[in-house]
Amino acid sequence: MGVTSYHTGNFLVHHLLVSEVIMLAIPTLLAVLLALTIVFGLSAIHFHKAKKLYNVTRKGENWVVRDNKGRFVRITNNYWDVCKLGIE
């Protein structure tokens, strides 16, 4: 790599060229974007499975389902909990 080293006083200073920093940053950013795409894509799939299987609806801030007597039952107020229902 294009690392240059020189002594200033008692410690060693390393300098990376700007192009090398960019070459390291691009794959890292691509990996982060890929990971976020996978996480949010899978959560959307699981959310739609749960919504279809359990007929989950949103009433205000709460996610609710209907029980066997036709009453609305609050299950959570968290989107990610609904996504977990789709996994099971």
pLDDT by residue for the chain (88 residues), tens only, comes to 555 555 555 444 455 566 777 788 899 999 999 999 999 999 999 999 988 888 888 888 888 888 788 888 888 888 888 888 888 7
pTM, 2 dp: 0.65
Q: Give the separation between CA 29 and CA 88, rounded to whole angstroms.
A: 32
Q: Give the separation between CA 72 and CA 45, rounded to whole angstroms.
A: 24
Residue 75 confidence (pLDDT):
87
Count the helix, strand and coil residues of the chain and give each as a percent rounded to the nearest 5: 50, 25, 20
Q: Which tokens belong to 77?
A: 């107020």
